[in-house]
Structure 1
Amino acid sequence: MTEQTATPTAPTEEPAGPEQELPPTGAVPAAAAGPVPAAEPVAATQPGPAAEPPAAPGQALAVAESVPAPKSSRRVLRAVARWTAAVLVLGGLGTGTALGITSMERTDVPGLATEGDGRWDYPELSLPALPAGLPRPFNEANVAEVHHADVRKLLLPAPAGATADKKLAGGWVSTSQYLSVYQKSKRAELGQVLKDSALRHITARGWTMPDGTSSRIYLLQFNSTAFAEAFRDEISDNTSIGAQLIGAPRTDLDETWSSGGRVENTATYAYAEDKPYGSEQVRHGYVLSGDTLALVVQSRKGKAGTERIPFHQTLILQNQLLG
């Protein structure tokens, strides 16, 4: 964007009148802007005022007694002046303190540091560049809602402190690798559906956090939006999961999930394994975005289970990258 600078124009003088606007605050009035004329010298021959006759002694005494102010009045004036100066100084100090606090970061102000809410520290996200002349998936010119960018670059990166999964390093993975997240009884059926759905390719990334939470994200890109929607319908619905994941014999809709952060024209489905969930708890969700379907899986062993906030955060960020 080209920065435009307004060129100031010289004000035109208008005759003063009853409806003339006042000058801006701080402007110098036109009468005071020019040089002050020097006082004309008084001619030596000019007669001065006539000297008044001396007053009578009694009259002069009366005038002299009325001129000096009482000492008490002087003390009051000096006290008022001192207090006014003190108030101005304190007011200036208070204003400076307030400006100093408002200019600081919240975490830099003692007592106002924001406590961690469990979110992971993901790096700053950015969308990859598109091939020349091709639009984003939900641009008006992209009726088919196709992702023209390399979907490997649309995978959510791992957060700070994570240990990367070498098998799921952000490259292409096989159909069998993706199907391994589902229970064995469903793999053959889902594999056939993928063959019939004109699947183009699958990419995946995985990592493990210091608290033991394991995350896996798969992106499946189809030849059209219709095939992506059909496969989504095959593995899930609005009330339960059609294909159970390994370690989660039963999952239900995550009632704590809201549509906050969801990108327009996309659909997100979140599921959670309720207690008792055995040795580990599994949370997973699907994001349908045009021709691409994302699967986000998080699990952690132990009674504490997986944390809700980082799971929702991961789901939202992956949704935003696909939008």
Structure 2
Amino acid sequence: MTEQTTETPAATVPAEDVAPAGDTAVPPAPKPPRRVLRAVARWTVAALVLGGLGAGTAFGITSMERTDVPGLATGSDGRWDYPELTLPALPAGSPRPYSDGNVAEIHHADLRRLLLPAPAGATVDKKLDGGWVSAERYLSEYEKSERADLGRLLDDSAPRHIAARGWTMPDGTSTRIYLVRFNSTAFAQGFMDSIAVSGSEVPLVGAPESVLDEGWSGGGKVPGTSSYVFDEAKPFGEAQVRQGYVVAGDTLALVVQSRKGKEGTRSVPFHQTVILQNQLLG
């Protein structure tokens, strides 16, 4: 379609606007057509409205909780309600295990302060209350027939301290966490290789045979650490037993969860527990 053009009649200039003779006449700036002004006004209003809406949306999202934002809400997936985690204070001048000034990856913090706290609703095990435990208590997690050999291996690996915490949740899930600190990272990894990486894992009590946990993706792992997660091979016995190891510098963590009944232990809180304990050791 060809746009039609209508010529605008020449404007009449008032006498007072005519330049005096001898001066260079400067014509007045032409006024934009009214339709152009109306269009500019409409676009200006539209831009202000859109800008206001955009700012309002951004403010709304930043001021809302993540679970309140449509599309970002996360339904209950069985995770436990752990308290907010904080790293313990270090002795003056001591670096974190994975800082540039700690090539040996030594944990200088009190080992007991690196244990994962019990989640909300848990009943804490009075014998595993977050303090020091003996090597015999740690070895009691393994099958009785394996303890003598494992004890000699542990002695040869020169452990310095062992700390532990345990609890039971309302659904009957029992959790025990042990932290074993060795004299060096080589001893920690060597002990791990002997009990769970050599292809003949040392069995835990109630789990004569274990298999790699196929649901474990290694998410949340601190760079520089190693994690090994196992599930009890089917068919389960009286209780299903899950176990996870974390090697972090000079320290080895063992996480054990068990639950009686056909339902057994749930993978989500178990993986959550392994991840959080890993992060505390980083």
> What TM-score results when the alignment is normalised by the length of structure 2?
0.77
Aligned to 1:282: 241
Q: Which amino acid aligns with 1:296?
A: V
C-alpha distance in 2 between matches for 1:305 and 1:295: 19
Aligned to 2:28: none
Aligned to 1:148: 108
**Which has the higher mean CA deviation after the structures are superposed, 230-239 or 301-310?**
230-239
Aligned to 1:176: 136
Distance 1:98 1:270, change over 3 A: same
How far the C-alpha of 1:195 sits from its partner, in A, is 1.4
- The reply to whether residue 253 of structure 1 matches residue 190 of structure 2 is no
Aligned to 2:270: 311
How far the C-alpha of 1:99 sits from its partner, in A, is 6.5
How far the C-alpha of 1:100 sits from its partner, in A, is 7.6
User: How much identity, in percent, do the aligned residues show?
Assistant: 67
Aligned to 1:236, what secondary structure does the other structure show? helix
Q: Deviations over 1:232-265 (max 9, x none)?
A: 1121116552x10000011011111112111111
Distance 1:108 1:261, change over 3 A: closer
Identify unmatched segments of 5+ residues in structure 2.
1-15, 17-41
C-alpha distance in 2 between matches for 1:317 and 1:231: 22
Identify unmatched segments of 5+ residues in structure 1.
1-48, 50-83
C-alpha distance in 2 between matches for 1:113 and 1:276: 36
Aligned to 1:293: 252
- The reply to whether residue 209 of structure 1 matches residue 169 of structure 2 is yes
Assess if the C-alpha contact under 8 Å between 1:240 and 1:252 holds in 2.
no
Aligned to 2:131, what secondary structure does the other structure show? strand
C-alpha distance in 2 between matches for 1:116 and 1:208: 20
Aligned Cα root-mean-square deviation (Å): 2.4
C-alpha distance in 2 between matches for 1:240 and 1:305: 24
Aligned to 1:190: 150
How far the C-alpha of 1:171 sits from its partner, in A, is 0.3
How far the C-alpha of 1:140 sits from its partner, in A, is 2.3
Q: Which has the larger radius of gyration?
A: 1
Aligned to 2:84: 124
How far the C-alpha of 1:202 sits from its partner, in A, is 0.4
Aligned to 2:180: 220
Q: Deviations over 1:21-53 (max 9, x none)?
A: xxxxxxxxxxxxxxxxxxxxxxxxxxxx9xxxx
C-alpha distance in 2 between matches for 1:197 and 1:168: 23
How far the C-alpha of 1:113 sits from its partner, in A, is 5.3
Distance 1:321 1:99, change over 3 A: closer
Aligned to 2:154, what secondary structure does the other structure show? helix
Query: Higher relative CO (CA 8 A, sep ≥ 6), structure 1 or 2?
Result: 2
Q: Deviations over 1:175-199 (max 9, x none)?
A: 1111110000010111111111111
C-alpha distance in 2 between matches for 1:321 and 1:119: 18
C-alpha distance in 1 between matches for 2:218 and 2:59: 38
- The reply to whether residue 267 of structure 1 matches residue 253 of structure 2 is no
